[in-house]
Structure 1
Amino acid sequence: MTALPTPSVRPNPLHLFRGQGALIALIALVVFAAVRYDGFFSLYNAGSFFRYNSMFLLIGIGMTFVIVTGGIDLSVGSTAAMGSVLAALASPHGAAAGLLAGLLRGLALGLVNGLLITRLRIEPFIITLGTFLGARGVAQLASNQAAVSVDSTGQFAQLGQGDVFGLPVLLVLLLLALLACLPLLRATRFGRTALSVGDNEDAARLMGLQVDRTKLGVYALSGLLAGLAGVILAAQFGAGQPTEGVGWELTAIAGVVVGGTLLSGGRGSLLGTLVGVTLLGLVFNVLNFENGKGVISIDVFWQNVIRGAFLLVVVLLQSRSARRTR
């Protein structure tokens, strides 16, 4: 019997873009802004954009690990505020002391979150809501509810404003965090276990995976990076800010989700988070440029409405692309 010829399948170049809704939107927005606004690619705008959004990128990296396990961390904004205050208080003792003060306090709070979640078997939403309030209280008590000035005679401020090897110290810190975490999620037992826990925790336990240890690790990492964001906050603005960080956890969660990480867990990408956080930050940047042209005036409340609508559209596009891919 003569075999039937196998029909040739023509490759569809659109398949390359499936599941990349956030990246496509980011590229389109950059092209639009470059054409419409004269100073969009200026060093001042690029530097301001990067310095402000670097804190959200750090928090988003940690949040990605938490969400891929099916958890949530509502305490990161308060952790950053607490870290900024404690780093500023330690800044007279040098840059290393300020850095360690913020990092270790963030790490400690992350470990508390992880231990309470794994030992008490209470939902992460409840535990991190409690530590959200607790960390904010610590920041206010330590600062007497006022901004704490950084020691201007030391080197601590260089963490947010200085350069090393021709690169901003801030960029070096962010790159180190990203380079350390990228292989951690995909190329280590810890990262693969985190993804397995988010996909099916019961199955992960039956397979003998270290579920509780992994959960403890992801919350510790989230707290550590939130503490680093607090250090950068203090170093950039010259003061620890006990009232800052309000809503940062929602911004980080939004960036993670827009980047393609499933809120239900089991799938996530740090590069996607990088794209998602950058995209949301760029929306605000474009709105500020639009206000500057004087054609329209969009106050902060309408900016939040626009950002929310934009987020909803991108998430819907991501969901539709994911269904088509499957």
Structure 2
Amino acid sequence: MTDTTTRPPAADTTTIRTREHQIARRTRFAGWGEPVALVAAMVVLVVVFSLLNPRFATFGNLQNILDQATVPLIVGVGATLVILLGSIDLSVEGVMGASGMAWILLSANSRGGLDLGPWAWVVALAVGAALGWVSGLIFTRLKVPSFIVTLGIWYVGLGVATILFGTSAIPTLTDDSLSTLSSQTALGLPNGFLLAVGVVVLGVLLLRYTRFGRLTLAIGDNEAIARSAGMPVARIKTAVFIVAGVLSGLAGIIATMKLGAGSATVGTGTLFLVIPAVVIGGTSLGGGRGGILRTVLGVFLLTVLSNGLILSGVSPSFQSAVSGAILVAAIVAAAWSQRNRLRIAK
């Protein structure tokens, strides 16, 4: 019997391999191109703002930038995990308010009442976890889009925070060591920022080296294949929303600590900073592609921009317009290489 298998000519095989190598090189370049572009943009901003105001380049202002980046870095880790699923979490500000109010009312405050010490942290984080669990449960079991679910949970959290805030005097921290804990420095770095670094490191390790992280990426990349492979899709999605809720709760505690007083709206503005930072960092809104370290770059880019505009004396009425224009340009630049595969978040 003769072998009728058709083999491509040697020249064609060489051409195919050459094209494969070219595609691989372009893929590697695209992977590195976005972070390099972000770093370059940040360097340009630093140079421009340093020329506009010499105070920008001082060590004291560097500490301010790191301190300002603390809350969005913590929230950004959870937001990145959710977006890697191909979903989105809009409940951040409500969860921050509820957890922050729970924490301050259970710590040494001007209203008195219980002072649970470290247990106040546990209860506040549990509040964040519970709100995240409710989001995940409704999303996975009732099949309600994450956009709608988390928008509702945002207002649930805000309502809880408002009820806890009450109508009496504003609760303020009476323990000076507690109110200054986040802004105090160790090795020249704010304690809050060091905590954020720890959260980022744990997030990276979780995403890269655990089954939970691999399943999160697999579900975001192609949920249908993940289901057909027998992956526990609903459990992983719910777990991701719980993690995001806990981190939003932690951010609410830190923000309340910085403020030194309870506020139902302590998280105001955080969502506008975090979600763009994740997208600017190169994490696909369609899920499955991106990472936490990319979000870190996005957070620092936007934090440097905000800090520089303030020190440069830009009027508050123009800061939003300038930030928005630069934000749109940055998103277009960061997402350009993904324009053919971006899809609407699930």
Q: Which runs of 5+ in 2 are unaligned?
A: 1-10, 109-114, 341-346
The answer (yes or no) to whether the contact 2:63–2:189 under 8 Å persists in 1 is: no
Pair 1:316-2:332 in alignment: yes
Deviation at 1:161, TM superposition (A): 3.2
Percent of aligned pairs with the same residue?
34
SS in 1 for 2:34: coil
- Max Rg structure: 2
Q: Which residue of 2 aligns with 1:193?
A: 215
Q: Deviations over 1:156-211 (max 9, x none)?
A: 32532335577532123112211111111122111111111111111110011121
**AA aligned opposite 1:52:** Q
Q: Distance in 1 between matches of 2:117 and 2:68?
A: 20
Which 4+ residue blocks in structure 1 deviate beyond 4 angstroms? 14-17, 163-167
Q: Which residue of 1 aligns with 2:307?
A: 285
Partner residue of 2:83 out of 43, 67, 84: 67
Q: Which residue of 2 aligns with 1:110?
A: 132
Partner residue of 1:254 out of 258, 276, 299: 276
Q: Distance in 2 between matches of 1:163 and 1:299?
A: 29
**AA aligned opposite 1:148:** P
Q: Which residue of 2 aligns with 1:294?
A: none
Deviation at 1:36, TM superposition (A): 3.4
Q: Distance in 1 between matches of 2:126 and 2:184?
A: 23
Q: Distance in 2 between matches of 1:322 and 1:44?
A: 38
Q: Which residue of 2 aligns with 1:298?
A: 315
The answer (yes or no) to whether the contact 1:150–1:239 under 8 Å persists in 2 is: yes
Equivalent residues in 2 for 1:238-249 (5 A)? 238-249=260-271
Partner residue of 1:18 out of 18, 21, 33: 33
**AA aligned opposite 1:19:** E
Pair 1:151-2:174 in alignment: yes
Distance change in 2, residues 1:134/1:27 (3 Å): same
Q: Deviations over 1:90-134 (max 9, x none)?
A: 112254133223212111111111111111111111111111111
SS in 1 for 2:278: helix
Q: Deviations over 1:70-100 (max 9, x none)?
A: 1111111111111111111111225413322
SS in 2 for 1:19: helix
Q: Which residue of 1 aligns with 2:49?
A: 33
Q: Deviations over 1:237-263 (max 9, x none)?
A: 211211222232232111100111111
**Alignment root-mean-square deviation, CA:** 2.8
Deviation at 1:28, TM superposition (A): 1.9
> How many aligned residue pairs are there?
315
Q: Deviations over 1:135-155 (max 9, x none)?
A: 0011011011664212326x5
Q: Distance in 2 between matches of 1:66 and 1:257?
A: 12
Q: Distance in 2 between matches of 1:289 and 1:149?
A: 29
SS in 2 for 1:222: helix
Pair 1:136-2:158 in alignment: yes
Q: Distance in 2 between matches of 1:257 and 1:176?
A: 22
Under a length normalisation based on structure 2, what TM-score does the superposition of the two structures give?
0.83
Q: Distance in 2 between matches of 1:44 and 1:97?
A: 33
Deviation at 1:308, TM superposition (A): 1.4
Larger mean Cα displacement after TM superposition, 84-93 or 160-169: 160-169
**AA aligned opposite 2:247:** L
Deviation at 1:15, TM superposition (A): 4.3
**AA aligned opposite 2:315:** I
Q: Which residue of 1 aligns with 2:145?
A: 123
Q: Distance in 1 between matches of 2:45 and 2:189?
A: 26
The answer (yes or no) to whether the contact 1:53–1:281 under 8 Å persists in 2 is: yes
The answer (yes or no) to whether the contact 1:95–1:159 under 8 Å persists in 2 is: no
Q: Distance in 2 between matches of 1:298 and 1:158?
A: 29
SS in 2 for 1:70: coil
Distance change in 2, residues 1:15/1:113 (3 Å): closer
Partner residue of 1:217 out of 222, 231, 239: 239
Pair 1:270-2:307 in alignment: no
Partner residue of 1:101 out of 123, 127, 133: 123
